Amino acid sequence: MQLTNHSILETLQQQWNGYFERIGHDFQFLTRSLEIQPGCSLILSRLGNYRRRRALSETECGLCQYLEPEAALSHPSLALDGTYYFHVNIYPTVPYVVIFSHREHISMEVNVTNYPRDLRQMLRMAEITGTSIFHNMRDAASSIPEHEHFQGLLFAVPIQHWPMEIVEESSEIQLLTIPAIPGENYVFQGTDPVPAVLDYIGDLEDIPYTLAILSRPSRIMVFPRRQEKSIYPERRWGGTEMLGTVACRQEMFELDDRELAEQILKNYRHVLYPRGELAPARVRAGRF
């Protein structure tokens, strides 16, 4: 697992006193690579000592606690601007997870009018930091849907290197898909992919989705979801898994490669819509 931006990691290590290393030691991460199809490898992350966050009362928020002034000592964070805070996820399922939390306790649904601005801001953050950023909507494996936030992985996620096919293209934007993922997925790439992404999200109406923002080149991916949970009832199948970084327990981690690859592909089919079922309206209408 190679970090994409050494300078930002050095800054985080200097300001946060090796917080990532302590988390890695506490959680006893172990990772290995797995090829699920030719040319398509993902990262398996075994949690040796996973701890769940403590139960919160109805009036508590799992993200607001990061933003309290006194939390800076135990939950280090950086103020990015007037909108977001950038901080370490202290309950990670894979190494090097960070969170971009909105400074206000506001849900994504309520803040939808600012979504175009926020997506462009996350695109800039992905490009500056090399971070792969994702967001799980409500009913799409979101852990705290009542507080707007994006999560980030400080390394190049596996699917960035998976082959992609062009579905449609215009002079300003390309619409691609990843054939190795056995379910509906679309990749929007161009100088400003946000308008096309918003059109597609509008097409989905009430269908939940996972959204991912990749850098170098800048891309926005959308995964429409028909299931929140994986084939293992106790586990969600969220943004890290969609991007090819799969958290698993010891017994799954030790399966032989063929059986494990079959289970992972089965999970993709379980949580995603079948291919072609939710194609963007502009594609169906032949007006891309």
Dig out the tokens for 154 from the structure: 């400080």
- pLDDT above 80: residue 113: no
N- to C-terminal Cα separation, the chain: 37
- Enumerate domains of the chain plus CATH numbers: 6-52+61-284 (3.30.428.70)
User: In angstroms, rounded to a whole number, what is the distance separating the alpha carbons of residues 66 and 87?
Assistant: 8
At a CB cut-off of 8 Å and minimum separation 6, what does 82 contact?
A: 103
Asked if pLDDT for residue 46 goes beyond 70, the answer is yes
Q: What's this model's pTM, rounded to 2 decimal places? A: 0.82
CA–CA separation, 84 and 81 (whole Å): 6
pLDDT in tens, 114-149: 777 778 888 887 877 778 888 887 776 677 778 888
Of residues 200 and 73, which shows the higher confidence score? 200
At residue 3 the predicted structure's pLDDT band, cuts being 50, 70 and 90, is: very low
pLDDT computed for residue 181 by the predictor: 94
Question: Residue 64: beta bridge partners?
Answer: none
Q: Is the pLDDT of residue 19 over 70?
A: no
Helix (H, G, I), strand (E, B) or coil at 38: coil
Predicted confidence at residue 140, as pLDDT, reads 66
Which amino acid appears at position 284 of this protein? R
Look over the chain and give the mean of its residue pLDDT values, rounded to a whole number.
Answer: 77
If you count them, how many residues does the chain have? 288
Cα–Cα dist 152/98, whole Å: 5
Instruction: Identify whether the C-beta of residue 255 lies closer than 8 Å to the C-beta of residue 36.
Output: no
Whether pLDDT at 52 is above 60? no
Query: What's the CA angle centered on 200, arms 196 and 206, to 5 degrees?
Result: 150
Asked which of 7-11, 98-102, 106-110, 240-244 is least confident by mean pLDDT, the reply is: 7-11
What SS3 class is residue 259? Answer: helix
Q: What is the mean pLDDT of residues 250-267?
A: 88
10 Å Cβ neighbour count for 226? 16
> What is the predicted pLDDT for the residue at 182?
93
